[in-house]
Amino acid sequence: MPELPEVETIVRVLEQRVVRDRVESVWIGSRPQPLKSPAAAIARTLEGKRIVDVHRTGKYIVFELGPSGHAERKRSSKTGKGTAQWVVHLGMTGRIVICSPGAELAKHTHLIARLASGRELRFVDPRMFGRVSVHAGGFDPGGVEPLEISERSFVELFRGRKTPIKSALLNQKLVRGVGNIYADESLFRAGIRPRRRAAAVTRQEFGSLYRSVRAVLREAIKLGGSSVSDYVDADGEEGLFQMRHRVYAREGEPCLVCGTAIRRVVLAGRSSHFCPKCQK
DNA sequence: ATACCGACCTGTCAGC
DNA sequence: TGCTGACAGGTCGGTA
């Protein structure tokens, strides 16, 4: 479910709700699939630690954890860097829920962090494609942030690649955070078909794609992401950007620009939507 | 390198 | 009502 705008929306809520709070104890469910680090390591790393910062990198949520001691806390809160990181990837159906301890336990709850404030952070994920891990001293998934990179560096990333441009956009080792929805929406705005080889995209089209990717992501963040079937943020609020989708999940419907029926093809195993007239 | 495919999982919906 | 198959925001590993 969550691509960059959805994860960014969730992180903004978490910043408001849990920064400066402390993890008192952790409960971890019995399913091993969502755990990328051993359960014991996750529990040991979280328990007793203060959450000094929450941020997003690509589609990952990163909780910066600091010691709970007073002097250490002062130092950590100054740098915004913790001594350890709790990292959550939501996969397709993962959710972070902030709730009270009495709230009903959702099916597929895999981890609960009980906070000193009396609330709980719960990680819920029916399909179990999401992953939870802990790291000491830095977490870097590779790739660059599309909203932080220059146009020149963006073009450099893709130049000469023989892979379809959409596959390149989805490759998190290049640009991180763009998923299936925003790849389709960006390519539509840039007028480029998903199957075009990156090497066959002109410099001018790359400029257009760079601006489209950033505009789409920024607009989506402003609207709280896209709620296609079940995405909600950490407060349970739905996003609104699905109202602005121009091609995603609109197969057979008229293109909003020219009226031609939107087509759907499968590329690298993913549904890909485009307007055969507007996109070359 | 690259591209295609299945695997990993559960839930939902359409069609019969 | 219930079965079957297709499909779903993501990523990884194998194979040609």
Distance, in Å, from the CA atom of A182 to the CA atom of A191, rounded to the nearest integer, reads 14
CA–C1' span, A244 to B2, in Å? 34
C-beta separation of A62 from A18 below 8 A: no
More confident of the two residues A114 and A82: A114
Say which of A56, A59, A189, A193 is annotated catalytic: A59
Q: Which of A74-78, A172-176, A181-185 has the least mean pLDDT? A: A74-78
Residues whose CB is below 7 A of strand B: A 33, 107-108, 126-129, 161-164, 167, 197, 266-269
Span CA (A103) to C1' (C15), Å? 48
Each residue's pLDDT tens digit, A27-72: 999 999 999 999 999 999 999 999 999 999 999 999 999 987 655 5
Predicted confidence (pLDDT) per residue in A219-251, tens digit: 999 999 998 877 899 999 999 999 999 999 999
Question: How many Å does it take to go from CA A91 to C1' B7?
Answer: 15
The pLDDT of A191-217, averaged and rounded, is 95
Q: Give the integer Cα–Cα distance in Å for A105 and A102.
A: 8
- Shortest-distance nucleotide from A171 CA to C1': C11
A89: the nucleotide nearest its CA (via C1') is C10
pLDDT confidence of A269, banded at 50, 70, 90? confident
CA distance A21 to A43: 16
Rg, chain A, Cα only: 20
d(CA A16, CA A98): 11
A3 is catalytic: yes
- pLDDT-based confidence at residue A85 (cuts at 50, 70, 90): very high
The nucleotide minimizing the C1' distance to residue A130's CA is C10
Chain C footprint bases within 7 A of protein beta carbons: 7-12
**In terms of residues, how long is chain A?**
280
Q: Is A2 a catalytic residue?
A: yes
Residue A122: active-site member: no
Mean pLDDT over A6-17 rounds to 96
pLDDT tens, A111-169? Answer: 999 999 999 999 999 999 999 999 998 899 999 999 999 999 999 999 889 999 999 99
**Position A73 pLDDT exceeds 80:** no
pLDDT at A74 > cutoff 60: no
pLDDT reported for residue A10 = 96
C1' of B2 to CA of A159 (Å):
15
Cα–Cα distance measured from residue A60 to residue A145, given in angstroms and rounded to the nearest whole number: 12
pLDDT for position A28: 97
Q: Which two tokens stand for residue A79?
A: 């740098």
Residue nearest to nucleotide B4 (CA to C1'): A268
Kindly report the bases of strand B lying within 7 A of a protein C-beta atom: 1-11
C1'-nearest nucleotide to the CA of A6: C9
Closest residue by C-alpha to C1' distance, nucleotide B7: A129
Binned at pLDDT 50, 70 and 90, residue A81 comes out as: confident
